[in-house]
Structure 1
Amino acid sequence: MNRHVKCALLAGAAWGVLAGASAAQDAEAAAQAANADQSTATVEDIVVTARRRDEQLKDVPVAVSALSAERLEQTGAVDITALQQQTPNATVQVARGSNSTLISFIRGVGQQDPLWGFEPGVGLYIDDVYVARPQGAVLDVFDISRIEVLRGPQGTLYGRNTIGGAIKYVTKRLDRDPNLTARAEFGSYDEHNFLLSGSLPVGDTFAIGAAVASYNHDGYGENLFTGEDQYDKDVMAYRASAEWTPSDDLFFRLAWDRVEDDSAPRHGHREVISTDGLWTPPASEYDTYAGITGEQKVVTEGVSLTGEYRVNDWLTLKSITAYRSGDTQTIIDFDETPNPTLDIPAIYSDDQFTQEFQALFTGDRWSGVAGLFYLDGTSSGAFDTIAGNLGLSIAAAGSVDTQSFSAFADFSYDLTDRLHLSLGGRYTKDDKDASVLRLFYLGATRTPFTGGVDRPVFAVRTDYTASDTFEKFTPRASLSYDFSDQITGYASVSQGFKSGGWDMRGDAALVPQTVNGYQPETVTAYELGLKGSAFDRRLSFASAVFYSDYQDQQITTQQVATPPAVGIASVVDNVGASTIYGFELEGSAFLTDDITANFSVGYLKNEFDEFITLVTGTPVDISDTREPQNSPEWSAYYGMTWRGDIMGGELRVTPSLSYRSDYHLFDIPDPILDQDGYVLADASVIWTAPSERWEIGLFGRNLTDVRYRVGAYSFPGATYNNSISAFYGPPTTYSARLTVKF
């Protein structure tokens, strides 16, 4: 408790210093800050759309990290997982056993399991289009304007499945002048990335644009049994858009994107000796002995049409129509040996249609947005659990159809020149239909569901259809006060919910209650924030303290049958409730005329209040033996950039450090898989030519070659040959990049 009090006092002291900073501005320092590039822009300069309307970051009563394209490129960010290093209290990683499936947690709330039918806890948006499924969502950083990370439940403006927060990937609007950018990057492990993007005006009101990117590198390790690469990358990404502005009041944008991931299967590293004593952990954390073979491919594609009409000075109407689809074929070897002890071939497929209407209002003392949202989506799949020691293959297949409708509104009113009130709410109704099938087949080979030999079903374990409706009203309220023209404080309360559903792996013979499904979970968050600039705008900052009440938590646990029964299945129940609290501070500082710094620090305390499980039919609270996953107590980032004139051009040197304290990969603490705290050291050197038409960059990542786990599978015991495996973040890499603008 003393440590908690000290943390609170430290945060309070920092707030006191910042809130009491002089509001007077030095003209030279202000000009320097205003003219700085977006990698160190102040909160007065940064415009975000966190509340679905353009606002200065300082005025938004939400904890938002806004990382511009310039800042991400300056630090050598390749894909969206770079957010984890620079955003406090966030986990943004590639899912275990995957190359392009996204796993996100914000303030300890998210979803580890990307199986179809499960809902994420952090919403992902591409230009305000909701991306329902995480497959193919490890977006590469190119042709963007910025990425916004909204922390805390966003149930009012973003709705269902944003109980942890939301990530907004905002692409660039097309230039009105012809332009073309070409980029090539080469580095460690035969890395070779290429990007070509540009836009072309056609007349005074129409423009077209396109981008194509290729990302490739060899594996960080090797499959010592098959000879395939481990942790390689083979991705093609495409974008095209057309924009029409027939008048100053009317705008249309048609956009298309596609990602193709042909990377080799990514298996884990066996962490312990097998039960039979034949397989030991490979020397390199990136190597494996996995024996399963098969196709590995992910394709995602989307198209959207956005229209905006400014009716008058106080009303703008907006429509966002979108369709997205994705297909995945993957193989995962849980036991990491050539034997089919626990092999998983899987197929995923999903599609979604969304329609959103918004009305944006602006008055003399008020502003706001109201709208309607509709989603019609289907998520389906099939996978085998090839259990060689049991002589069985277990087929799981099913689908979930979702129709979601919501109505929302959020309005702000200036009570005085300095005091502002914001009220909002959203009603959401999800209608879901599910089918779940689970079958036993004799023989440790693929079943007919994944391309195996057709043969009789040995046992039907699960076969049901179900329907249910999940609805919720999620409110939000905030009160903000301008202490000065530079500093704003706010207090808010918000709520979010994640929809209920059914476990697509459920074994009704082993766990009969699986047919009942599980109910929604909710988070109610209370937050105090302080944002602005101080010390003559040489310091720009955003800070928050928060307290969250997490109820009806959906937890996935594995059930292994005990003899004489056989089988393995998951159980998803509303078993948990948690109390989560902490603080965050991030910002930029102009240390000298030539040196700037970006920093962040997050403190997170996440504790189970209850964790109810069934033992011999009696509910038992085992929360004292459980720990929330992906919730490091401390996270921090510090990067400095030195700028200087070299050979007539500008040289920027940016070393940086990021830190995550120890964390658990599963709710059950495991000394084999729990990750100790670690520090990642990166550095970049970028020189821009005097003409600003070409640029050379050198990048080093994880310079001290730290080995850190980002995911794991745990199936201990003799039945599954003590299958405990882990997946690791990238090792040390170096690259050189050339960018030419025409």
Structure 2
Amino acid sequence: MARNIAALRIRLALGTALLATAPALAQQEAPAGPASPAVAADQPSGNEIVVVARRRAEKLIDVPIAVTAYTADQLSKEQAVDLSGIQGTAPNVNLVQGRGSTTNANIFIRGIGQPDALQTFDPAVGVYVDGVYISRIQGALFNLFDVDHIEVLRGPQGTLYGKNTIGGAVNIISKRPDLEAFHASGNFTYGSYNQKLANAYVTVPLVTDKLALSLAGVYDRRDGTVEDPLTGRHYNDRNTQAGRAILRYKASDRVELTLEGDYTHQHTRPTLGYATAPLTNVDLVTGAQQVISPANPYGPYDFKASTSLQPGQDQTLHHWGVAFTANVELNDAFTLTSISAYRKLKPNYWLDFDATQLQVADAYVGVRQRQISEELQLKYDHGPLKGVAGLYYLNEQISSNQLSEDDDYITVLGTPATFQRYITDFQTSKSYAAFGQMTYDFTDKLSATAGIRYTSERKHYVRSTYTVLGNPLLGGTITSAPFDFPGSLPAPYNDLDHADFHAWTPSFTLSYKPTRDTLLYASASRGFKSGGFNGRVNGLGDVTQVIDGKTVVVPYFKPEAVWTYEAGAKGSFLGGRVSLSGDVFYSDYKDFQARVGGGQTGILGGSFPVINAGKLRIWGIETELAVKPTKAWSIRADVGYLNAKYLRFDDARRTPPYGTDNFSCNPTGQHIVCKPAFAPPLSASIGSDYAFDLQGAGTITFGGDARFVDKQWLSVDNRPGLYENGYWLFNAYVRYDDPTGRWYLQGGVKNAANTIYKTDAQEFSSVGNIQTVYYGDPRTWTGTVGFRF
């Protein structure tokens, strides 16, 4: 098996290298719907996929960026209910449900991401909904119930986007109200685990050609896929209700206004992982440790896990926002766009980090977040010069109240003790940016693009925590004095409650179009991700490092930065029947923000430092192919190769690296490898569908796809259990469309081979040796009936 997998990787890598020399993907399965209101004035016509990756509507073939686009029709074929449904379908993109919650999005692009939902970490991949940046990965795993199309941009984005993102961007573009005609669509799905999914969409012209309203909603519910053998209760369920309303007003040929609002409510039982290492407790007096639960308590994983959480200790989320977009054509050359938005997020999570019936680390986390953003864009398009200049402002306030219940973690001379930690914190972030990008066409074929962005951010952070320890030998209950941040550590830490971060991030692109339907390009761009404060500061060990032999306080972690160099090609051939893309890239990634373990377990452990670990070198190759041999038959494929390596990993609490190839990623006392997490060397997918004409009785379509994600580490600390060996997923569907195209029936199966695969992990090894993994869904089937008119 190992030899077969190795041979497969070699073949796919060789195929990738060959395809990379050919022109790039311009998917042409179905016409895209109208673009975001922010780019409506620029919308071209035609059958090609139209994207807004460069803040203006363009054919995908003309965009010198590595971008994959998904139409609503494609998302249906992928059987994607939320964003995680596209996992494995874009090269070098890892997009899965985040650890411990149904609402979190863990997104890595080209080996760059941020899986931690902690409120003091910024996402490395930006998620945008109709041009509005989503600040948190909580609630970012959006249901796809009214989507026109999705764009996944690989590489740093900043000279065109309101919020700079270092790894890439995911643009979700909603359907826009139709000003001329009434349309409605909907579907109902029933599936395994008692899944019930209903989607509805309607657009109504209130005043023809002037004012229109669209309404969309989703009801998504499914029983849990994981059973607790001790109680018979089920976990890892789905329960979401969401809606969106968009009001579109075309005041004149040059002025268009859009007001939209959305609301999402989720209420599920906790999402359980599985313990991969033996759990331990520690004696407060002697420091002795004892194993209290084995690794893999129910043997090889089979969707069974236990928890100490009680009925009612669930997970809820309320997430809503409003946005107002104004598009004004000032004249034939200039267009002014304003995007004003307000969003509010309120998750309440009960989490079982140890994933057993013991209380080694159970927690309640209640977060309150709000953000106000304003973006102004001035677009210019006249003669050989076109581009965008913009200003951006984001004001975010986020607070949390946390309770950690660890009654099975501590003993006193062998006698059990109760232990709770109480935490409150509050952070405000203000981000200001000015950005611009201009393209000059030297000829009809040769163009040059240059962009620059300046970002200035200030973060204020305060934190307070105390513990309550109960044990008869201690005379009852002991409550510690509050440990406040700032205020309880030596200078300069005690007076520092804010930090400022600034960056210039330029970009350069040269593009050449040998023909109308081909494009060659080369680019260089710099990305930036803000620094911040460690939101898990519980003691001095969390903020101290040894530098040049001296122990110093490091109150915050610095920003990350990356330079990415890319060359690619795109092309459409044989009248659009063949579309092909390829690119190669090299990234120089510095000051990687790593949450590392605090050393040994026990009384001397338990710390969670965040360090700027060092430098990574990441390079790769990406290809995408779409072929339509006949009108009824389509084939699509993509391959991504990724080579990510630490060139330096600075953890000053340990001696230098064990060897030239191995680094000490954490002070664990173990000789472990040091490989970047969530960076599978190979990812690939291939899919096909064929539509049979039933001679006036409608059409029936058979389709399916296979997806491969290579081996990868799931944590910065490369523990053996926090590793995925690589997996294949197989999906299939069959669909009947009636002759009028007004209704359809569809049946589908996902993960047809019932593959058991890991998607994420939680490493808190310095507390009770916690090393928990999370798994993807088992095999599921669905049946759908839908209509559209």
Confirm or deny a common fold (TM above 0.5): yes
2:383 paired with 1:364: yes
1:592 to 613, 621, 630: 630
Q: Residue in 2 aligned with 1:493?
A: 524
SS of equivalent residue, structure 2 residue 505: strand
Q: Which amino acid aligns with 1:584?
A: E
Query: What displacement does 1:349 show?
Result: 1.5
Q: Residue in 2 aligned with 1:291?
A: 308
Between stretches 535-544 and 279-288, larger displacement belongs to 279-288
2:139–2:319 contact (8 Å) kept in structure 1: yes
TM alignment of 1:590-739, pairs within 5 A: 590-615=628-653, 622=664, 625-646=673-694, 648-716=697-765, 720=768, 722-739=769-786
2:155 to 129, 149, 152: 152
SS of equivalent residue, structure 1 residue 357: strand
Query: What displacement does 1:578 show?
Result: 0.2
SS of equivalent residue, structure 2 residue 711: coil
1:252 to 238, 252, 257: 257
2:203 paired with 1:199: yes
2:442 to 415, 422, 432: 415
Q: Residue in 2 aligned with 1:447?
A: none
Between stretches 481-490 and 643-652, larger displacement belongs to 643-652
Q: Residue in 2 aligned with 1:101?
A: 104
Query: What displacement does 1:484 show?
Result: 1.5
Between stretches 269-278 and 137-146, larger displacement belongs to 269-278
Aligned residues: 716
**Change over 3 Å in CA distance of 1:107–1:170 after alignment to 2:** same
2:585 paired with 1:568: no
Query: What displacement does 1:670 show?
Result: 2.5
Q: Residue in 2 aligned with 1:243?
A: 248
**Change over 3 Å in CA distance of 1:664–1:34 after alignment to 2:** closer
1:510–1:561 contact (8 Å) kept in structure 2: no
Normalising by structure 1, we get a TM-score of: 0.91
Distance 2:368 2:655 in 1: 36
2:589 to 550, 554, 559: 550
Distance 1:423 1:270 in 2: 50
Q: Residue in 1 aligned with 2:399?
A: 380
**Change over 3 Å in CA distance of 1:285–1:50 after alignment to 2:** same
**Change over 3 Å in CA distance of 1:501–1:181 after alignment to 2:** same
2:556 paired with 1:517: yes
1:74–1:686 contact (8 Å) kept in structure 2: no
Query: What displacement does 1:117 show?
Result: 1.2
Task: Please list the CA deviations of residues 117-143 of structure 1 after superposition, one character each: whole Å capped at 9, or x if unmatched.
Answer: 110100010000000011111111111
Between stretches 457-466 and 662-671, larger displacement belongs to 457-466
**Change over 3 Å in CA distance of 1:648–1:9 after alignment to 2:** closer
Query: What displacement does 1:6 show?
Result: 9.8
SS of equivalent residue, structure 1 residue 256: strand
2:261–2:323 contact (8 Å) kept in structure 1: yes
Distance 1:247 1:653 in 2: 45
Distance 1:120 1:35 in 2: 32
2:242–2:263 contact (8 Å) kept in structure 1: yes
1:279–1:337 contact (8 Å) kept in structure 2: no
1:583 to 616, 621, 638: 621
SS of equivalent residue, structure 1 residue 86: coil
**Change over 3 Å in CA distance of 1:232–1:512 after alignment to 2:** closer
2:737–2:744 contact (8 Å) kept in structure 1: yes
1:349 to 368, 392, 398: 368
Q: Which amino acid aligns with 2:194?
A: D
2:30–2:47 contact (8 Å) kept in structure 1: no
Query: What displacement does 1:604 show?
Result: 0.4
SS of equivalent residue, structure 1 residue 81: helix
SS of equivalent residue, structure 2 residue 73: helix
Distance 2:685 2:29 in 1: 24
1:397–1:504 contact (8 Å) kept in structure 2: no
Query: What displacement does 1:271 show?
Result: 3.0
2:57 paired with 1:54: yes
Distance 2:259 2:732 in 1: 38
Q: Which amino acid aligns with 2:224?
A: G
2:426–2:461 contact (8 Å) kept in structure 1: yes
1:184 to 171, 181, 188: 188
Distance 1:737 1:231 in 2: 23
SS of equivalent residue, structure 2 residue 725: coil
Q: Which amino acid aligns with 2:586?
A: Y
Between stretches 77-86 and 406-415, larger displacement belongs to 77-86
1:38–1:71 contact (8 Å) kept in structure 2: no
Q: Residue in 2 aligned with 1:333?
A: 352
1:393–1:441 contact (8 Å) kept in structure 2: yes
Distance 2:393 2:523 in 1: 27
Which consecutive residues of structure 2, in runs of 5 or more, have no partner in the other structure?
A: 1-6, 34-44, 280-290, 411-416, 472-476, 487-495, 545-552, 666-671
**Change over 3 Å in CA distance of 1:651–1:226 after alignment to 2:** same
Q: Residue in 2 aligned with 1:507?
A: 538
Task: Please list the CA deviations of residues 483-537 of structure 1 after superposition, one character each: whole Å capped at 9, or x if unmatched.
Answer: 2222110000001100011001023322343661011000110000100112443
SS of equivalent residue, structure 2 residue 19: helix
Distance 2:103 2:709 in 1: 23
**Change over 3 Å in CA distance of 1:17–1:334 after alignment to 2:** closer
Q: Residue in 1 aligned with 2:787?
A: 740
Q: Which amino acid aligns with 1:420?
A: S
Q: Residue in 1 aligned with 2:505?
A: 474
1:47–1:56 contact (8 Å) kept in structure 2: yes
Q: Residue in 2 aligned with 1:426?
A: 453
Q: Which amino acid aligns with 2:596?
A: T
Query: What displacement does 1:38 show?
Result: 5.8
Query: What displacement does 1:236 show?
Result: 0.4
1:132 to 125, 132, 135: 135
1:604–1:634 contact (8 Å) kept in structure 2: yes
TM alignment of 1:277-316, pairs within 5 A: 281-282=297-298, 284-293=301-310, 294-316=313-335
Query: What displacement does 1:653 show?
Result: 1.4
Distance 1:701 1:3 in 2: 23
**Change over 3 Å in CA distance of 1:683–1:222 after alignment to 2:** same
Which consecutive residues of structure 1, in runs of 5 or more, have no partner in the other structure?
A: 22-29, 445-454
Between stretches 523-532 and 218-227, larger displacement belongs to 218-227
Q: Residue in 2 aligned with 1:173?
A: 176
Distance 2:15 2:787 in 1: 47
Distance 2:207 2:362 in 1: 57
Query: What displacement does 1:616 show?
Result: 6.3
2:187–2:785 contact (8 Å) kept in structure 1: yes
Query: What displacement does 1:172 show?
Result: 0.7
1:43–1:531 contact (8 Å) kept in structure 2: no
Q: Residue in 2 aligned with 1:27?
A: none
Query: What displacement does 1:542 show?
Result: 2.0
Q: Residue in 2 aligned with 1:24?
A: none
Distance 1:264 1:423 in 2: 49
Query: What displacement does 1:229 show?
Result: 1.9
Q: Residue in 2 aligned with 1:211?
A: 216
Task: Please list the CA deviations of residues 233-264 of structure 1 after superposition, one character each: whole Å capped at 9, or x if unmatched.
Answer: 01101111111112111111110001111011
Between stretches 455-464 and 384-393, larger displacement belongs to 455-464
Distance 2:593 2:29 in 1: 48
Query: What displacement does 1:735 show?
Result: 0.3
Distance 1:199 1:126 in 2: 19
Q: Residue in 2 aligned with 1:270?
A: 275
Query: What displacement does 1:597 show?
Result: 0.7
Q: Residue in 1 aligned with 2:287?
A: none
Query: What displacement does 1:618 show?
Result: 8.7
Query: What displacement does 1:273 show?
Result: 5.3
Query: What displacement does 1:183 show?
Result: 1.2
Between stretches 527-536 and 248-257, larger displacement belongs to 527-536
1:156–1:496 contact (8 Å) kept in structure 2: no
